[in-house]
A and B are shown apart, each in its own frame.
Chain A
Amino acid sequence: MTTQTKGRQSIAFAQPVSILSGASMVGQKEGEGPLGDLFDCICQDPMFGTESWEQAESTMQKETAQLALGKAGLTKEQIRMIFAGDLLAQSIASSYGLVDLEIPVYGLYGACSTMGEALSLAAMAVAGGYGEYILALTSSHFGSAEKEFRFPLGYGNQRPLSATWTVTGSGACVLGRKGGKACITGLTTGKIIDYGLKDSMNMGACMAPAACDTILRHLQDFCRQPEDYDRIITGDLGKIGQRILFDLLEEKGCDIRQQHMDCGLEIFDAEEQDTHAGGSGCGCAATVFASYVLPKVETGEWKRVLFIPTGALLSKVSFNEGQTVPGIAQAVVVEQERKA
């Protein structure tokens, strides 16, 4: 078997892995945002017809999985396995969301970078011949995330301008050996990068060094320039994280200002919707990818993009114990499928 590794941290697939479909489901606020028309489904009820935020997120994940299967024209029996994750402790949103689907599952946690992790692992599994069709799926919910990481929702706190707004949404992609209009041609696995920052209300600044590290490593591994990409799309750095990323890259002699786009900055209108630095959460990168990025690659408007969801690896306990907030970023190369 030919080795498919490239450089120190990357993989270049000998046979690109096809993205058969992408599906997204979001809450009301996201639906009212700039990308509102692009999502497959917008649910006006923040509880998604259930009793709690956690169940709401699970329901959203289940629905999104089914949407993605439907768009790919597959039945659930045809899916070999799922890579899924969310932000909640012990990933309960995924566990309870996917139980009814009766498909084998690998549960993931990569904070907001989980979609990158899920796509990477799913692509590797398909490329390795471990499944004909594999589903990558993540979700986040504003209510459950606030409760998990910050305050009860009825609490009257003031959010700093560096804070991001957790996206209520779930995004899913079905990967397979062939049959899609876009494909994953390579990936770069991210390292955990810790610059010693402790401010959990400024996650963009915590994650930007990780994004910088993965981007540089990727370009080096593939011997590419930023110009080789139509877009370099980070997950949820937000306004401040983006600025820091530019500065950090500039120090290393790399400029991506022309190509850069951030899902967190795309999904909300910061002024109109009062979200401060931008959107965040597993659902942020996932829904923007499935609804906005993927179609543009499929139609060929963008020939090749680098998709890099970023995650801040903290928990409530680590925060209380005064630990720093390390970041991680997983890069996936998505290209238009070339006709054989």
Chain B
Amino acid sequence: MEYFNAFWVGGLICALVQILVDKTKMMPGRIMVLLVCTGAILSAVGLFEPLVDYAGAGASVPLIGFGNTLWKGMKEAIDANGFIGLFMGGFTSCAVGVSAALILSYIASWIFQPKMKE
């Protein structure tokens, strides 16, 4: 059942974003920014948690999940460290995602050559 929920919620988010892509001609960079910020806000107002409980990876794998992670880390850091936590939480919480993308991509740049589109 959890697989089914992950499938349809994740799929639905993508399908909704597709409307945005096709109707507004927004560049992918803007779409990604919008998703992350939306995720952070949803998470801050407490709407994200129920969604994750219901859909699991269907909510956390789309980039809005990245926003959720950022907010959760921010909140924890503020709770634990006060003011300075404002400057700790973000990067701590997204460490795995950003590090993995950077490190693996850099290694990939050693191995792979640019290729023509087909």
Contact = CB atoms under 8 A, between A and B. Distances in A.
A103 B40 CA distance: 60
Contacts of A152: 114
Contacts of A142: 116-117
Contacts of B116: 27, 29, 46, 142-143, 153
**What interface size band does chain B fall in?**
under 10
B21 interface: yes
B115 A154 contact: yes
Given A53-B114, A142-B117, A157 B25 contact: no
Main secondary structure of the interface of A (DSSP, over half): loop
A89 interface: no
Contacts of B21: 158
B25 A154 contact: no
A157 B28 contact: yes
A155 B117 CA distance: 9
B114 A199 contact: no
A143 B115 CA distance: 8
Contacts of B115: 46, 153-154
Main secondary structure of the interface of B (DSSP, over half): loop
A201 B22 CA distance: 12
B15 to A, nearest CB: 14
A146 interface: yes
**What interface size band does chain A fall in?**
10 to 19
A160 B117 CA distance: 15
Contacts of A153: 114-117
Contact of B114 (A29, A143, A158): A143
A167 to B, nearest CB: 13
A157 B116 CA distance: 14
Contacts of B28: 151, 155, 157
A146 B114 CA distance: 12
A199 B24 CA distance: 11
A160 B25 CA distance: 9
A142 B117 CA distance: 9
Nearest to B114: A153
The listed residue with most A CB atoms (<10 A of its CB), out of B28, B115, B116, is: B116
Interface in B36-69: none
Interface string B106-118: 0000000011110
B117 A146 contact: yes
Contacts of A27: 116
A151 B117 CA distance: 11
A199 B117 contact: no
Contact of B25 (A46, A151, A201): A201
Interface in B91-118: 114-117
A143 B117 CA distance: 8
A323 B118 CA distance: 31
Contacts of A158: 21
Nearest to A159: B117
Interface string A9-27: 0000000000000000001
A29 B118 CA distance: 9
A201 B117 CA distance: 17
The listed residue with most A CB atoms (<10 A of its CB), out of B21, B28, B115, B117, is: B117
Contacts of A143: 114, 116
Interface string B5-42: 00000000000000001000100100000000000000
Q: Which 9 A-B pairs have the closest CB atoms?
A: A46-B116, A153-B117, A153-B114, A157-B28, A143-B116, A153-B115, A142-B116, A199-B25, A153-B116
24 contacts: A27-B116, A29-B116, A46-B115, A46-B116, A53-B114, A142-B116, A142-B117, A143-B114, A143-B116, A146-B117, A151-B28, A152-B114, A153-B114, A153-B115, A153-B116, A153-B117, A154-B114, A154-B115, A155-B28, A157-B28, A158-B21, A160-B25, A199-B25, A201-B25
